[in-house]
Chains A and B, each alone.
Chain A
Amino acid sequence: MKFVFRIGAKAGEGAMVTGRMLGRCFTRGGYNVLGYPEYPSLVRGGHNAYHIKISDELATSPSYSCDAVIALNKDAIFYHKEAVTPGGAIIYDKDIDISNANIKQGVKLIALPIKELLEKIGASPLMANALEIGAALAIIDYPLEIFEEVIRDEFSRKGEEVVAKNIAAAREGYNYVKSQIQPIKNIKPLSDKKKYFATGNEILALGALKGGLKFYAAYPMTPASSILHYLCEVEREAGIVVKQVEDEITGINEAIGASYAGVRAATGTSGGGFALKTEAIALAGLSETPVVVYLASRPGPSTGMPTWTEQGDLRQALHAGQGEFLRVLLAPGDAREAFELSAQAFNYAEKYQVPVIVLSDKFLSESVFSFEDLPEVKIERGKIVSNPKTPPGTRFKRYELTKDGISPRTLPGTPNGMHVASSYEHDEFGFSTELFSMRKAQVDKRNAKLKKMLKELPLPKIYGDEDAEITLVAWGSMKLIGLEAIEMLKKEGVKANLVHFNVVYPLDSRKIRKLLKKAKHTVLFENNATGLFGGLLRECCGWKPEFKILKYTGRPIYAEELAREIKRIRDANYKAEKEIRLLDMEDYEYYNPKRYNL
């Protein structure tokens, strides 16, 4: 079973809050839910949309079709009416004129007298959202009590009256719809096991807390800002320090300073902000200071499309910083991985004394995911010496030449551990050197970490049938899309599986080649224009996919278009074009509704 709502509104009218609350009604009933927000880079004006997908199977990809639209303004009807499947419904404010809307046959129209219903119970216009959610639940006959509980949890801090009025509004909406139509579907809670419902960024932040994050310094930038917002919300309770700083350069330099002083520290940003952090990433590389950087991508280059999604920053993350140095690039594929890898990032950073970059994108960072539990992550700090035996008056060998390339660290405050961590090439004590043999020895030492790193970092995972006819290859957030596409293909009798990379660098060439060798037909799909990860796989593993499916319109690839293209390739007996560039099935923009005379 899958059911999709779309909520459409003017920016600032509450589509985001409404969407998240509606989603929570279903995660509390044991469903898998995806909340997927879309909005233009505007504070006022423009159109906002919120997709809520509910399923007892997977709910991880947005869809072009939906079962019900909740239209909070006239624009919403224009933007979403084509998406509603026959048998579906559009709930809208009765004051919206739909006479010229040309609604499809078989779509039920439910005009809500919002103003009158709210006036009747003396509720403010702000409570329209609760009324609409009540109405939405009525069309699928879902118990209103669950929503009433959500209202209580959401508004109790605003006082009993606000709670009571919202519940009354929800009931008005619910009862009104019930009195007008038969439900278009009957959806009942699956269980009373409540699932969690959180954005990718909230989960990344929780992972960081689990991983021992104590200091976060960042400059706001969409779509990374909500990591900063969430950490600000919990900083006192969690006993950490979160700081909004003057620019992205400051963010990473403060994190490096804090990490040098012994706490787990991170910064986060998007593409342009990351570019500013580049020099300091190389500083972390040479001074071997652990640091974690969250990079939530949006379509570039430059300012690009700030509120949309793309996997376009892989090479930026891989090559950020002058010179050659090791780093780890993690690209979680879903909620659990976002949590686990975000926590592990701090282990990797400290154990290997390297920068670790956690890649996400707007789709993963800002979508809302349901999950039941989260994995355990153990904290491992690597080589920290608390009682060094350095003779008084001499320096601690911070950059001691060791076999595994990892030198013991001392933290400021530790007696006899004094050393200088340096951005210059240095000798074992951290003192600047230009002696050729020492330069070579230090470069070799830093690079030697790779061996141990490759042993520890997880390999790509295979999802679906081992003996599939088609193997999809993806990284990062595209796991969410791949999994649902495989599910769809299976229903059509196509056996496909997915090889998903959540560590995108470094790559273990031998093991990855072995793993990919088993595949019969291969399709790499990426949310970018040039297949960046495909290039990296070719470079590191000498592997090339048979087909590439790419999308770079600003939206994620949708599972249905991925499944459609794979089926087409298969139906053509694998004689299709080698590179497929997707264009969305609906083509409009939210930025400027006026272009549609709205």
Chain B
Amino acid sequence: MDAKGNVNFDVNTYNTKEMIQWCPGCGNFGILTAIKMALAELKKQPHEVVISSGVGCNSKIPHYVMTYGFEGLHGRPVPVAEGIKLANHKLTVIAEGGDGDGYQEGIQHFIHVMRRNHDITYIVHDNQLYGLTTGQASATTLLGTKTKTTLHGVIETPLNPILLAIDNGATYVARGFAGDIPHLKELIKGAIAHKGFSLVEVFQPCVTFNKLNTYEWFRERVYKLEEAGHDPRDKKAAREKAEEEVLTQYKKIPIGLFYREERPTYEDQLPQIADKPLVEKQLEIDITPFLKKLV
């Protein structure tokens, strides 16, 4: 900020003094930088942004971004974000989850928030296992992977969050890679700017527990949809791209914007908040008209 109080937006605008507690080399660092860059490029005032997180390695992120933050329960960043958005839809609301925190414990919220199309950006830090609880399998751990809880290899088919999102009403479905910050930043920027529910699923290598899905592993496999001429308005093509990794046995993994559509948001369809957000409404209301009907 300069002497006149004007904010020169850059990544430093959102710096905090808190010590970052992730393992050195963690994919979360890339996501953190991409978020700060996206906010800066969109010139978002720090006090007009709220980040809602749950519990997990990813969930510490509100502490590291100088915005408002709510660090709630494991699996519940999405409903808290929905509440925040409905209370004050002028705010930019970002929910942060992980593959454990979003695709397992709280997956019902993921499914229903897409149907509702709240104007919320949901960034899922997918490291394909449980980090904070020291390396158990998650919903996106690949078949056959041995972990502390799958000693003989995973036998559950991995969840496909991209396909689920496309089919279930998400209006912005993207996947980034923590090892490619400029690309991820563009996806997050697009997601925040998008009016409606956006999913940004991010491959986030866990350098401590995940010895399979490493930076190198991803670098050898990912390619950008934007460079492959994919049209994100084409739902059928988006579905095909979402299945490509499985069909190619993980030889080719697309990242980028899979799908995008315009649909009225939940907030847009509530006439009672068309004039102003709930938080700006007068608390005292006249209940006489309601009482009259009870005579």
Contacts and interface: CB of A to CB of B under 8 A. Distances in A.
Interface of A: 24, 27-28, 153, 194-198, 202, 206, 209-210, 212, 214-215, 217, 234-241, 243, 245-247, 249-250, 253-265, 279-280, 283, 287, 374, 379, 381, 392-395, 411-424, 430-432
B26 interface: no
Given A236-B272, A254-B86, A258-B84, 4 more contacts: A214-B281, A254-B80, A261-B87, A416-B47
Given A209-B290, A239-B281, A241-B272, A257 B83 contact: yes
A423 B295 contact: no
Given A262-B279, A280-B76, A379-B284, A202 B294 contact: yes
Interface in B79-98: 79-88, 90-91
A422 B68 CA distance: 11
B274 to A, nearest CB: 10
Nearest to B293: A153
Given A246-B109, A412-B47, A413-B279, A424 B290 contact: no
Interface in B101-136: 108-109, 111-112
A248 to B, nearest CB: 11
A3 B125 CA distance: 67
B190 interface: no
Q: Would you list the 10 A-B pairs with minimal beta carbon distance, nearest first?
A: A257-B83, A212-B283, A261-B87, A257-B80, A253-B79, A254-B83, A258-B83, A420-B69, A258-B87, A412-B68
B158 interface: no
A374 B292 CA distance: 13
B126 to A, nearest CB: 22
Contacts of A381: 283
Given A215-B278, A254-B80, A412-B47, A395 B109 contact: no
B272 A418 contact: no
B295 A27 contact: yes
A28 B287 contact: no
B62 interface: yes
B109 A250 contact: yes
A245 B112 contact: yes
Contact of A246 (B112, B273, B279): B112
Given A28-B295, A256-B80, A420 B70 contact: yes
B63 A257 contact: no
Most A CB contacts (10 A, CB to CB) among B16, B62, B295 go to B295
B278 A214 contact: yes
B113 to A, nearest CB: 9
Given A256-B72, A261-B84, A263-B278, A418 B47 contact: yes
B171 interface: no
B145 to A, nearest CB: 29
Given A254-B82, A412-B88, A420-B62, A263 B279 contact: yes
B266 to A, nearest CB: 9
B76 A249 contact: yes
Contact of B72 (A27, A283, A432): A283
B79 A249 contact: yes
B71 interface: yes
A196 B66 CA distance: 52
B279 A411 contact: yes
A418 B60 CA distance: 15
A395 B87 contact: no
Contacts of B287: 206, 209-210
B240 interface: no
B108 A280 contact: no
A256 B289 contact: no
A255 B83 contact: yes
Most B CB contacts (10 A, CB to CB) among A153, A195, A243, A422 go to A422
B260 to A, nearest CB: 25
Contacts, number: 196
Nearest to A368: B294
A247 B278 contact: no
Given A240-B272, A418-B47, A234 B278 contact: no
Interface stretch (B48-56, B201-209, B225-233, B249-257): B48-56
A415 B48 CA distance: 8
Interface in B25-71: 45-48, 50, 52, 55, 60, 62-63, 66-71
Nearest to B92: A412
Contact of B91 (A28, A202, A412, A431): A412
A424 B112 CA distance: 27
A283 B283 contact: no
B15 A254 contact: no
A417 B82 CA distance: 21
B270 A418 contact: no
A532 to B, nearest CB: 28
Contact of A261 (B15, B83, B108, B273): B83
B98 to A, nearest CB: 15
B75 to A, nearest CB: 8
A262 B87 contact: yes
Contacts of B91: 261, 412-413
A421 B281 contact: no
Contacts of A28: 295
Contacts of B62: 420
A24 B291 CA distance: 14
A413 B271 CA distance: 22
Contact of A241 (B63, B79, B111, B273): B273
Nearest to B68: A412
Most A CB contacts (10 A, CB to CB) among B17, B67, B79, B87 go to B87
B290 A261 contact: no
B50 A261 contact: yes
Most B CB contacts (10 A, CB to CB) among A253, A265, A430 go to A253
Contact of B279 (A261, A287, A420): A261
A217 B83 contact: yes
Contacts of B76: 249, 253, 280
Contact of B86 (A202, A206, A243, A420): A243
B269 to A, nearest CB: 11
A260 B70 contact: yes
A196 B279 CA distance: 31
Nearest to B279: A262
A416 B55 CA distance: 26
Given A280-B76, A379-B283, A421 B278 contact: no
Given A234-B290, A258-B278, A412-B88, A215 B71 contact: no
Given A264-B283, A395-B16, A206 B47 contact: no
Most A CB contacts (10 A, CB to CB) among B60, B62, B80, B279 go to B80
B73 interface: yes
Nearest to A207: B287
B220 interface: no
A260 B83 contact: yes
B12 to A, nearest CB: 9
B106 to A, nearest CB: 8
A420 B270 CA distance: 29
B71 A256 contact: no
B47 A414 contact: yes
Given A250-B108, A279-B73, A197 B272 contact: no
Nearest to A415: B47
Contacts of B70: 257, 260, 287, 420-422
A589 B111 CA distance: 41
A257 B82 CA distance: 7
A394 B17 contact: yes
Contacts of B52: 257
